[in-house]
Amino acid sequence: MTDVIMPQMGESIAEGTVTKWMKNVGDKVQRDEPLFEISTDKVDAEIPAPASGVLKEIRVQAGATVPINTVVGVIAAEGEAVAAAPPAPAASAPPAAAAPSTPPAPRSPAPPASPQADGATGPAARPAPSQPAPPVPREPPRPAPSAVPPPPTPTPSPGPSASRADMTVDELRQTRSSPVVRKIAAEHNVDIREIPGTGIAGRVTKQDILTHIEGKPAETPMPGLTPAPPASAPSMTAAKPTPPVSAPSASARVEVVPMSPIRKKTAEHMVLSKRISAHVTTVFEIDMTRVDHLRKKYRQPYEERSGVKLTYMPFILKATLDAVKAFPVLNASVEGDAVVYRHDINIGIAVALDWGLIVPVIRNADEKNVLGLARAVNDLAERARSKRLKVEEVQGGTFTITNPGVFGSLFGTPIINQPQVAILGIGVIEKRTVVRDDAIAIRTMAYFALSFDHRIVDGADADRFMAHLKKGLQEFDESAL
Amino acid sequence: MKLNRMVEEKLTNLYRQGKVVGGLYRSLGQEGCSVGSAYALERGDIFTPLIRNLGAIFVRGGRPRDVFAQYMARAAGPTHGRDLNVHFGWISEEGSMPSVISMLGDMVPVLTGAVIAERMKGRRTVALTWIGDGATSTGAFHEGFNFACVQKAPIVVIVENNKWAYSTPTHKQTANPRFVDRARAYGCFGEQVDGNDVRAVYEVTRRAIERARAGAGPTLIEADTMRMRGHAEHDDMKYVPPGMIEEWAARDPIDRYERWLVGSGHARPEELQAVTADLDASLQADLAAAEASPFPDPRSGLSGVYADRRVRPPVPPLVAEWKRRKGRV
Amino acid sequence: MAVLTYLEAIRLAMLEEMVRDERVFVLGEDVGTYGGAFRVTAGFLEKFGEKRVIDTPISETAIVGAAIGASLMGMRPIAEMQFIDFVSCAFDIIVNYAAKTRYRWGAGVPIVIRGPSGGGVHGGPFHSQNPEAYFMNVPGLKIVAPGTPTDAKGLMTAAIRDPDPVIYLEHKFLYRRLKEEVPEGDLVVPIGKARVARAGKDVSIVTYAAMLQVALEAAEAAARDGIDVEVVDLRTLLPLDEEAILASAAKTGKVIVLHEPTITGGPGGEIAALISERAFEYLDAPVMRVAPPDTPVPYSPPLEETFLPNAAKVGEAIRAIYDY
């Protein structure tokens, strides 16, 4: 069987009119013999038969206009069985057999609820061979009730029950935020509306929701975490115009101050570090009398010879570096399932500035002697305060030292500076009464607190490290000066 | 011609001083081609000068002051700083000058259409343009001129054969350097002329314009001349064989015309010097005025893309909103 | 390693390929005797002779057409457009011949069409354009736009060796202003691969060519404010390195697309659509485009300055999207 179709005579042509059939049903046709004529917007043409055989059927009569590619006739090969053709869709004749009392079969896949009057069940469209098929309905099918989708309801979203179309842009920002925020909110089963938003129009940003999910803010606001940027004062950000949703409205008693980028960064890092590392802190009491003695002894010569101010820090640095060399796991980091040992020892020294925290780094500090360390410390601190640090000078640290003792703290539990695994906090260095050889003595003492990441640093490692440090300071080798 | 040359000398200085930016193209030695031919046009005629036809602009009423302002990218220039050098134009009853663009050959079909339009309106406007030997190699020239000829459009095209297209000599540009021969191929009139003889240029062009106006169709005029400077001021012309410049310097159009004026009794040398002095004085004034005039307002470049709508504002919407909110707090 | 300008790098790449492969030749206006309007092919005529360095008439269609024909017969031509603005004079033969030949009858057209593009040099409307957007919509073409001397060299080598037609956009502003150490020897930068010029985590800028420098300058300034900007240098516009673009979008969630063609219909639209289609879930802000307004490139310096993006404008965009 070969279909005869309405051809497309020209790119923009979409339909054609059959003007004349040159053959009648039952006539023999030869391939390429003129079979029918058409007329279109562009051209009138004779259409040759696509195959040889017998013109079995004419489906589109002369005078009718149909879309291109419509089957207008059928040619049967000679000797092909003559099958009862399905009735032409144009006429909607009632079936000869018992008319179904059910409504016309819907085109949707749902089968009719009740069986056909003639007892046949199942999908209504399959005709029994001896019965004419039920007529294909001409009117648009009435969908079965079950097939109708419910009218679109607004996705139950946090926020006003009005549909999205009724919400203003700002309302949408506050309640629906952005795709990534919605995703995180869904993952953690959090209502966006309940989170303070620092973005435009009070929008909850990705950082806002992540911070919220981390839970409480850091226990101790200990210095020790670096924001990446160097020390130039960050300009105050554009103040966020709307206060967090859950805060009391701003009034004379409540002042809302948006965070500077450096504060924001610090806040993020503190929380993140706590989440990443298994923080444990161990505290050693170290006798700094000898160091103090050496400091006083060499202060003037250093100043005169090299113009360098000699503080406790170079001594502490030297002893710490020796200890780090002896216990390299304190200078490592964690990457996935691996411990990454770093052979460069880049010590960061936390400096508290008016506008935030900065941690300049002394690269390859272990290659410097006490003089070199003193120089580096002074230089970095001075440039940190005058905002002249370079970007690379606050990056790449492998171990950090912080000095809360400067403000009087006995000792703290500093937060590790990611991706490092240890941070050493120096408490106030002061004279205390201690017991030496069963007698009371007055010595210059300080508590040193090491926070370490218990994922790769065990308590024993940490304590051995501290013991080494303690020894290194208490028995400081004068020849190093 | 003097005006042409003197203006360009001043422009060269300005270029070297950084007051004219982008590039400076001169017509030194070719002034005769521009000036002689432009004088043959009548009121209402159309012409398009190319980069080396500054002289024609002055003949047809263009003012040095405007040219200076245009070259120096000032607001008072005819394009208000939007385009450079001779890329400006006007449409008027007195005579129009559709602006040229950098793409060579394009003016030929454009002017052909212009005069066909005039013809449709029942007028006898003629168009004149110039083209370099190099530019005749473009498809646009061929299509335009062929169309003009088959239409018998009243257009006159002067091929200024100045021997060089940038560094490309005519023998690398075309196998037949007799450009006048193309007239036969296109089916139109053709004439050759000594491009550095300003009076001859005038005569030949006048004949061609009259012919066109009478309905006889286009003429292709080949003007023999020489580019006495590089393609632009940043080109030192090292590729030009040494003798060529000297040879053509002896045929300088201004020198020749001055000699003829004096020799035929039309002018005395003092008079010519006085003309030059006057020109110099008025050019100084024009230059000073142009130099003192302001640059365009930076935001003025956003308008005039369309007749009936504005283009979208240049600031990204989020930035505009951010600025608004910042301002509020 | 030698220190080369962007222009020298392009010259060296062509020179090395012409030495290595005798099928490579150059054609264009003033490329031989003069060495090219910008001197990119200086010395080539002396070294390779007239057969391989052809000074053509002013005929862009003929230049590109002849290149196509030569490439069908096994050569590897490099066709120069004196200013890329004039590529419009060859638009027909590029789009209808070069781009469609392999698809239709299986023959390759391994040509390079190269020319100086871009503004910032007071060139006015016809010497400052950036035509990449028109050609991005033509299947069969490749388009590259290096932003550094190293990439200029590596991409030229890649373009010459590529079996398909490559439009190579050399930004004239960068010609003599960028200098860096370029690795010696055979250097191929793969076509279709972007490069992270600066890693960051707060905001991404996706850009290329002269705007790369603008982006880097703006990123440095933003760093002083505590904003960590990632800059992705596309290097190729067709085909786009979708992986790189999407990875950066997913990383920061905040993307700025920065380019020199005017904004409407520019490459930024394609990139923004790509991100929206495939990285939507990672976005924490709408994708922003920074590009010149929809006017021709104006000539007068104050007008051109207003027209072109600069570090200050990009800085504002960074702040606005960071604060979103």
Query: Given this model, what pLDDT does residue A84 score?
Result: 47
Whether residue A309 sits in one domain with residue A220: no
Decide if A192 is inside a domain: yes
- Residue B129's pLDDT band (cuts 50, 70, 90): very high
Look at B172 and A8; give whichever has higher pLDDT: B172
Looking at chain A, the number of H-run helices and the number of E-run strands are: 8, 19
CATH of the domain at A26: 2.40.50.100
Tell me the C-alpha to C-alpha distance, in Å, between residue C319 and each of A344, B238, B324, C324: 36, 52, 13, 8
- Residue range A41-70: mean pLDDT, rounded: 87
Write down which residue in A250, A271, A292 finishes a domain: A271
Residue to substitute from B84, B141, B171, B305, interface C, most C β-carbons within 10 A = B84
Whether residue A412 sits in one domain with residue A286: yes
Whether residue A313 sits in one domain with residue A214: no
DSSP secondary structure code for residue B328 in this structure: H
- Residue range A241-262: mean pLDDT, rounded: 62
Decide if A437 is inside a domain: yes
Does B326 contact A at CB distance below 8 Å? yes
Write down which residue in A271, A288, A314 finishes a domain: A271
- Residue A146's pLDDT band (cuts 50, 70, 90): very low
Residue B96: closest CA among B72, B75, B120, B113: B113
Query: Given this model, what pLDDT does residue A46 score?
Result: 83
The CATH label, of 3.40.50.970, 2.102.10.10, 3.30.300.280, 3.30.1600.10, for the domain at C2-182 is 3.40.50.970
* Shortest alpha-carbon distance between residue B325 and chain A (Å): 7
For the segment C86-101, what is each residue's pLDDT rounded down to a tens digit? 999 999 999 999 999 9
Does C312 contact A at CB distance below 8 Å? no
Q: Which of A69-73, B212-216, C238-242 has the lowest mean pLDDT?
A: A69-73
* Shortest alpha-carbon distance between residue C105 and chain B (Å): 27
Q: Which of C33, C124, C263 sits opposite B22 (nearest CB)?
A: C124
Whether residue A339 sits in one domain with residue A217: no
Complex-level ipTM: 0.89
Does B238 contact A at CB distance below 8 Å? no
Q: Say if the Cβ atoms of A200 and B321 lie within 8 Å.
A: yes
- Residue range B38-42: mean pLDDT, rounded: 96
Asked if C286 and C276 touch (Cβ cutoff 8 Å), the reply is: no
Whether residue A416 sits in one domain with residue A354: yes
Torsion angle, alpha carbons of C280, C282, C283, C284, to 10: 150
Does A260 contact C at CB distance below 8 Å? yes
* Shortest alpha-carbon distance between residue C58 and chain B (Å): 5
Q: Which of A248-257, B164-173, B262-271 has the lowest mean pLDDT?
A: A248-257
- Residue linked to tokens 């700002």: A170
Q: Which chains touch A (3 or more CB pairs under 8 A)?
A: B, C
Query: Given this model, what pLDDT does residue A251 score?
Result: 66
Query: Given this model, what pLDDT does residue A138 score?
Result: 47
Q: How far apart are CA A225 and CA A418, in angstroms?
A: 8
Q: Say if the Cβ atoms of B322 and A239 lie within 8 Å.
A: no
Does A202 contact C at CB distance below 8 Å? no
Residue A298's domain comprises 278-480
Query: Given this model, what pLDDT does residue C135 score?
Result: 98
Please provide residue B35's backbone torsions phi and psi, each rounded to the nearest 5 degrees.
-75, -50
First to last CA, chain C: 44
Decide if A231 is inside a domain: yes
Q: What is the pTM of this model?
A: 0.67
Decide if A468 is inside a domain: yes
Whether residue A263 sits in one domain with residue A285: no
For the segment C139-188, what is each residue's pLDDT rounded down to a tens digit? 999 999 999 999 999 999 999 999 999 999 999 999 999 999 999 999 99
> Residue B317 pLDDT more than 90?
yes
Q: Amino acid identity of C12?
A: L
Whether residue A256 sits in one domain with residue A296: no
Whether residue A409 sits in one domain with residue A347: yes
Decide if A89 is inside a domain: no
Write down which residue in A34, A52, A76 finishes a domain: A76
**A407 CB burial (10 A radius; 0-12, 13-18, 19+):** exposed
Whether residue A376 sits in one domain with residue A470: yes
Name chain A contacts of C282, Cβ cutoff 8 Å: 179-180
Does B324 contact A at CB distance below 8 Å? no
For the segment B49-106, what is each residue's pLDDT rounded down to a tens digit? 999 999 999 999 999 999 999 999 999 999 999 999 999 999 999 999 999 999 999 9
* Shortest alpha-carbon distance between residue C198 and chain A (Å): 13
For the segment B236-261, what is each residue's pLDDT rounded down to a tens digit? 899 999 899 999 999 999 999 999 99
Q: Say if the Cβ atoms of B296 and C300 lie within 8 Å.
A: yes
Question: What is the DSSP pairing of strand A439-453 with strand A65-67?
Answer: unpaired
For the segment A166-224, what is each residue's pLDDT rounded down to a tens digit? 888 888 898 889 999 999 999 999 999 989 899 988 999 999 999 998 874 443 334 34
Decide if A298 is inside a domain: yes
First to last CA, chain A: 106
What residue segments make up the domains of chain C, in order of their start? 2-182, 195-323
**Residue A78 exposure: Cα atoms within 13 Å on the Cβ side:** 7
Query: Total structural domains in chain A?
Result: 3
Decide if A96 is inside a domain: no
Is the fold of C2-182 the same as that of C195-323?
yes
Which DSSP string corresponds to A322-382? HHHHH-GGGG-EEETTEEE--SS--EEE-EEETTEEE--EETTGGG--HHHHHHHHHHHHH
Residue numbers of C annotated as active site: 127
Whether residue A320 sits in one domain with residue A285: yes
Q: Which of A7-16, A45-54, A435-444, C41-50 has the lowest mean pLDDT?
A: A7-16
Asked if A415 and A222 touch (Cβ cutoff 8 Å), the reply is: yes
- Residue range C254-271: mean pLDDT, rounded: 98
Domains of chain B as residue ranges with CATH: 2-328 (3.40.50.970)
Whether residue A356 sits in one domain with residue A445: yes
For the segment A259-287, what is each residue's pLDDT rounded down to a tens digit? 777 787 788 888 989 988 999 999 999 99
Query: Given this model, what pLDDT does residue C292 score?
Result: 98
Query: Given this model, what pLDDT does residue B319 score?
Result: 95
Which DSSP string corresponds to B264-310? TTS--HHHHHHHHHHHHHHHHHHHHHHHHSPPPPGGGGGS-SSSS-P
Bridge partners, residue C180, by sequence: C4
Mean pLDDT, chain B, rounded, equals 93
CATH number of C195-323: 3.40.50.920
Decide if A401 is inside a domain: yes
Q: How far apart are CA C318 and CA C324, in angstroms?
A: 10
**B129 CB burial (10 A radius; 0-12, 13-18, 19+):** buried
DSSP secondary structure code for residue B90 in this structure: B
Whether residue A304 sits in one domain with residue A236: no
Question: What is the DSSP pairing of strand B189-194 with strand A71-76?
Answer: unpaired
Mean pLDDT, chain A, rounded, equals 78
Q: Which of B296, B313, B318 sits opposite C288 (nearest CB)?
A: B318
Query: Given this model, what pLDDT does residue A391 score?
Result: 74
